Chains A and B, each alone.
Chain A
């Protein structure tokens, strides 16, 4: 199979079984260059297993993973030259200082004048805001400082692909914000593939999302597409003074598949799912406003938040079992 050059990661029926338990089932992922790819799933969904398979730290029981056009099992050292990785619970040699950790990491990737390497280390320490703690042994570091050091050691080689496993999971809100800011700063240089179950973070920084549940990929799409929801487009109207006749008239349209209503602060909120977006956009408001007493307070394409989408997909998949 010819690898697609715009794809950084491509998996083909990637599977992993641990002692008879299927941790990952026929995963087919595609991660495009320069995307921030959010890899979502509840705990135990198989996110970390997937990452370890991509890095060659674990062996698949079926299928394959291609990273930068190379097989993750046979060419893993070569692949890892282009990758920066932050583990979910990063562990380092505790007696080392942050600077020593970065120096040790840097020497796996490149050689050169000592001054140039030290400059790179200093620059990376600054990037994550650890330059003032660089010479302290890391055994005294807080969770947030460890996480920032984790990002620094993952970034030291200016990777083409940054793989972050739950980068903000153990952080307080300020630490989370810092990590997301670093990710946003790095997006122009690299592709970021990160796993998380913090949906707000994904909605804030990701452009593409995949959702994994019980080892199976249940959704993969650009985030905008995912937030539109499945089952056709939907529109949200906040109306006042509408009679039942108008509501029935809307329901009777051939392009309306459902209409649900709910009272909101003295108004009525309609959620209308349609099969024909063009027809909806040109006719929907017209039908509602045909009633003289009707007022439309809000009208727009309905967007879900990621939490709703995630729960719908995951619970839907669970119920389908």
Chain B
């Protein structure tokens, strides 16, 4: 057998053992195949396609009618801009959250059921590293294909339709809230995948929560900690991402803090539960 001289054992990083290799592998699944391209096209169709169809198809000025005043044009643009931002946030927040749940539902259950998790974890890989590497790689894949690419294309659609150039910093801040919302549902799906092997629960519960905003008036306190208000107007509280897009003052920050804290707690709980899993 060949000697071990030229090969060095991987370092002992305790809970981080195997993170790099696992992260590389999950990243390869995203970027080493056509998977990312398929996701980009799917979400261009869903987010930017619907956005474009909505705001680019608004009625043009009728030449037979007297030319509108500048104030009227500005008013029309403002209405169109509001419509465009609202559409974008619903599509990239609520619709994309559904996509995140569908994309992530198999991340842990699939590995547990197929036996690949047991195989990988029989190597010098810590469970925390296995889980966090998958979560981080999925988060990056989602961030790029569902948020970044769609945001850039959406920006130009918006500019074409309204003629308004939104400040980049405002856009980044608003897209940051969209990202936070998607991370919330990604973490929730991972948590459920760690807790249960029932696919119905792992997909169903997050979907219920996404659309539960319609009934949130029954428990108003939930609006303050759940991510709905990040992208949607909720009972008199305008969407926080919408306010950031427009450079307006946010009515509240509690949904941001609530979502961030819940996301962190869910990631912690997922690690805790997964470390107790038996294979």
Contact = CB atoms under 8 A, between A and B. Distances in A.
Contacts of B115: 87, 89-91
A93 B2 CA distance: 27
A81 interface: yes
B10 A109 contact: yes
A104 B119 contact: no
A119 B279 CA distance: 32
Contacts of A252: none
Contacts of A119: 2
Interface of B: 1-2, 4, 6-10, 12, 14, 17-18, 20-21, 24-25, 114-116, 118-119, 121-126, 276, 278-279
B119 A110 contact: no
B61 to A, nearest CB: 54
B9 to A, nearest CB: 5
A85 B261 CA distance: 39
B1 A104 contact: no
Interface stretch (A55-63, A255-263, A313-321): A55-63
Given A92-B116, A109-B123, A158 B1 contact: yes
Nearest to B278: A58
A105 B119 CA distance: 10
Interface in A76-126: 77-78, 80-81, 83, 85, 87, 89-93, 104-105, 107-113, 116-117, 119-120, 123
B116 to A, nearest CB: 5
A189 B3 CA distance: 12
Q: How large is the interface on A (under 10, 10 to 19, 20 to 34, 35 or more residues)?
A: 20 to 34
Interface in A30-89: 52, 55, 57-59, 77-78, 80-81, 83, 85, 87, 89
A110 B9 contact: yes
12 contacts: A57-B121, A59-B278, A77-B124, A80-B125, A87-B115, A87-B118, A91-B119, A107-B10, A108-B18, A110-B4, A110-B9, A123-B2
Contacts, number: 85
B117 to A, nearest CB: 9
Given A52-B279, A89-B115, A77 B17 contact: yes
B122 A55 contact: yes
B7 A107 contact: no
Contacts of A111: 7-10
Contacts of A55: 122
Of A108, A110, A119, A120, most buried by chain B (CB within 10 Å of CB) is A108
A57 B21 contact: no
Nearest to A51: B122
A59 B17 CA distance: 20
Contacts of B20: 107
Interface of A is mostly: mixed
The 9 A-B pairs at the shortest CB distance, nearest first, are namely: A91-B115, A112-B7, A116-B6, A108-B123, A110-B7, A107-B21, A57-B279, A85-B122, A58-B278
Given A58-B278, A87-B118, A104-B21, A109 B9 contact: yes
A102 to B, nearest CB: 12
Contact of B10 (A89, A104, A108, A123): A108
Contacts of A108: 10, 18, 21, 123-125
B21 A113 contact: no
A105 B122 CA distance: 10
A83 B4 CA distance: 16
Contacts of B8: 110-112
Given A77-B17, A116-B7, A109 B124 contact: yes
Of A55, A87, A109, most buried by chain B (CB within 10 Å of CB) is A109
Given A57-B118, A80-B122, A92-B119, A110 B10 contact: yes
B5 to A, nearest CB: 9
A251 B18 CA distance: 68
B173 to A, nearest CB: 38
A84 B38 CA distance: 37
Contact of B7 (A58, A91, A117): A117
A91 B114 contact: yes
A123 B1 contact: yes
Contacts of A112: 6-8
Of A59, A77, A90, A92, most buried by chain B (CB within 10 Å of CB) is A77
Given A58-B279, A108-B10, A158-B1, A78 B124 contact: yes
Contact of B25 (A90, A91, A104, A158): A104
A231 B150 CA distance: 79
Interface in A107-163: 107-113, 116-117, 119-120, 123, 158
Contacts of B121: 57
A112 B7 CA distance: 5
Nearest to B121: A57
